[in-house]
Amino acid sequence: MSIRRITLLILFFTQAIYTGQANTIKRVLFIGNSYTDVNNLPLLVSQIAHSMGDSLYFDSNVPGGMNLYGHSINSITLSKIAQGNWDYVVLQAQSQEPSFPPSQVANGVLPYARKLDSLVHAADSCAQTIFYMTWGRKNGDAFNCAAYPPVCTYAGMQSRLRSSYLLMAQQNNASVAPVGIVWRELIQQNPTFDLYQSDESHPSIYGSYAAACVFYSSFFHTKVKNIYVPAGVATAEALIIQQQSNKSVFDSLSNWYSPGDIPFSYFTYSQHGDTLQFTNTSMNATSVNWDFGDGTNSNLLNPEHVYSVIGVYPVKLTATNMCQDTASYTDTIVVTTAGMHDETKNDNWQISYNSLLQEIAITGESGNHHNKLKIFDESGKLVLQTIISTYVKVALSKGVYFVGIYTSTNQTLATHKLVVY
C-alpha cells in the first residue's frame, strides 16, 4: 500500500483553486470529454467545495467526443494518471457508448474501463476510481434509434446508461457518481427548468450544477447545504437541485459505493427511555469514532449512550478506511429524556418551585458563588440560565422541567426533574 503524500505539488495541476484554510483537501483527475468540459464542471465542484470550507485541486483531460478506448491510448491521459497522488480519478465515457447493446458495451467499453482503472491503482493503490454516470439525451438517441430501439427515448437511453455504469463500477470495485439519476428525478419532478442546452445533449448551467453537487458529495462525503450558486442559476432552483442531489446520493449509498472503496460516513439513531442507540450505516470503513457532543467518545461500531443532561448535542461519526482516508457525518440530536433523576450528582441539593411567588428555592451546600443554574423545558429548550442564588425568580407554566446546577466551567453538580402543577 502506498502512503498518501502530504506535499502539494502545485505544478502538477492545471488548476489550483482556493489555497486558504480548509477542512478537507482532495486531489482529483477528471478524464472525459465535452460533458465534463462544458461549463467547466471541475471548477464548479471546486467552488462548491470552497463554499463548504474545503479545497479541491484538480487536473483534467477532456477532449470533445473522446471515449474510454481513446483515453486508454492517449498519451496525455496516461501521463496524468501516472503522476499519481490522486485521491480520485473520474472516468467518463463518450455520451452514447454505454447505452449501446450489452454485447457492444462488453467488447467496446468494459475492457477499457478496466484498463484505465488498473492504471489508476498501479500509480497509487489508495487512489479511487469514480465512474461518471451521465444522462440520456432529451429525446433519445435519434442517430442509433433504428439500429437499437431501447435508445429511442430518454427513459430507455437513461436506463441503459445506468446499467452500464453500474456494471463498470461492479467489475472494478469502484464507485459511481449518479449524476444521471439526479437528472432523471429533476426532469420528472421539476420540468420548469431545462438541464439541457439547445442540442438536447450537453448540459446547461443547471445540468452542470446538478453534476457538481453530486461530485462534491462523492469526493467529500458530505451533503451539500447553503453552497455556492453560479451565475445563471436561480437560488430557489439551486436549492431544489441540492436537495435532490442529497436525496439521490445518500438514500441509496449501497448502489453507488462498493466494498473496499472510499469511506462514507452516516448513521441513524433511536431513543429508548434515557438511552440512545446509534446505528452505524457507514460504507467501506475499517474503524469508526463517535463524538457524542458532550465531551465523550466511543470506538464501538454501534454504541449506546446516555446523556446526563437534556439539551441539544452535535453527534459526529468519523469513518476511516485502510488508506487512512476519513469521512465524517454530523447530526444534531435533541435529548428530551436524559439520565436525570433528583439529586443524581449531590444528595444535599434541594430544589422546589413556588408558583405563587414564581420563584425557585435552592437549598443545600453553598458551593461557589459562581455556580450556574440552567432550566430546560421538556422539549430540551433552555428556559433560563443564571448565577445560582437561594431564590431565583422565573415564571414557569405547568409542565415538566429539568434543572441543572453547574460549576463556572460547566461541570455538573446536580440535576433535578421539576414538575410544576
Q: Residue 301, by phi and psi: left (phi above 0), alpha (psi -120 to 50) or beta?
A: alpha
- The pLDDT confidence band at residue 348, using thresholds 50, 70 and 90, is low
Number of H helices, E strands in the chain: 11, 20
86 backbone φψ class: left, alpha, beta (φ>0; ψ -120 to 50): beta
Distance CA 166, CA 343 (A): 58
d(C-alpha 200, C-alpha 38), whole Å = 14
Within 10 A of 6 (CB to CB), how many other CB atoms are there?
7
Task: Please report, rounded to a whole number, the percentage of residues in the chain having pLDDT higher than 70.
Answer: 88
- What is the DSSP secondary-structure string of 132-189? E-----TT--TTTTTT-GGGGSHHHHHHHHHHHHHHHHHHTT-EEE-HHHHHHHHHHH
Do the beta carbons of residue 85 and residue 124 sit within 8 Å? yes
Q: How far is CA 86 from CA 75, 166, 416, in A?
A: 18, 22, 54
What is the pLDDT, as a whole number, of residue 343? Answer: 36
Q: Is the pLDDT of residue 200 over 60?
A: yes
pLDDT tens-digit map of 82-110: 999 999 999 999 999 999 999 999 999 99
pLDDT on residue 369: 61
Burial class from Cβ neighbours inside 10 Å (0-12, 13-18, 19+) for residue 337 reads: middle
The structural domains of the chain, ordered by start, are 10-256 (3.40.50.1110), 267-335 (2.60.40.10), 350-420 (2.60.40.3580)
Query: Hey, what's the cell of 204?
Result: 446547461
- The interaxial angle of helices 205-220 and 235-250, nearest 10 deg, is 40
Answer yes or no: is pLDDT of 13 > 50.
no
402 or 367: which carries more pLDDT confidence?
402
- Reply yes or no on whether the pLDDT at 254 is more than 80: no
pLDDT at 278 over 90: yes
What mean pLDDT is predicted for residues 261-267?
A: 81
Mean pLDDT in residue range 151-168: 97
Q: What is the pLDDT of residue 398?
A: 84
Q: What does the pLDDT average to over 125-130?
A: 91
Q: Could you read off the pLDDT of 396-420 as tens digits, one per residue?
A: 888 888 888 878 777 777 777 787 8
Top mean-pLDDT range of 151-165, 237-251, 260-274, 343-357:
151-165
DSSP code, position 5: P
**What distance in Å separates the CA atoms of residue 404 and residue 384, rounded to the nearest whole number?**
10
- C-beta of residue 110 within 8 angstroms of C-beta of residue 67: no
Whether residue 365 is predicted with pLDDT greater than 60 in this model: the reply is: no
Most distant CA pair in the chain: distance in Å?
Answer: 89
Q: 43-82: per-residue pLDDT in tens? A: 999 999 999 999 999 999 999 999 999 999 999 999 999 9
CA-based radius of gyration for the chain = 27
In this prediction the pTM is 0.64
Q: Pick left, alpha or beta for residue 169 (phi over 0 → left; psi -120 to 50 → alpha; otherwise beta).
A: alpha
Average pLDDT over residues 278-301: 92
**C-beta separation of 320 from 326 below 8 A:** yes
Q: Does the pLDDT at position 119 exceed 80? A: yes
Residue 14 has pLDDT above 50, yes or no: no
Residue 345 pLDDT level (bands cut at 50, 70, 90):
very low
Could you tell me the pLDDT band of residue 258, with boundaries at 50, 70 and 90?
Answer: low
What is the DSSP secondary structure assignment for residue 196, as one 8-state letter? B
- Return the minimum-mean-pLDDT range out of 19-28, 42-51, 174-183: 19-28
Higher pLDDT, 384 or 66: 66
Position with higher pLDDT, 354 vs 7 = 354
- 305-342 residue pLDDT tens: 988 777 788 999 999 988 877 888 998 887 766 554 33
Tens of pLDDT, residues 221-235: 889 988 999 999 999
User: Beta-strand (E) ranges in 33-81?
Assistant: 55-61
Q: How far apart are CA 334 and CA 292, in angstroms?
A: 12
Burial class (CB in 10 A: 0-12, 13-18, 19+), 340: buried
Task: Inform me whether the pLDDT recorded for 2 exceeds 60.
Answer: no
As a whole number, the mean pLDDT across the chain is 86
Give residue 376's pLDDT band: very low, low, confident or very high (50, 70, 90): confident
Q: What is the pLDDT of residue 44?
A: 98
Say whether pLDDT at 7 is over 60.
no
Could you give the CA distance from residue 25 to residue 4 in angstroms, rounded to a whole number? Answer: 12
Q: Which residue has the higher pLDDT, 53 or 354?
A: 53
Measure the CA–CA gap between 67 and 33, rounded to whole angstroms: 8
pLDDT at 367 over 80: no
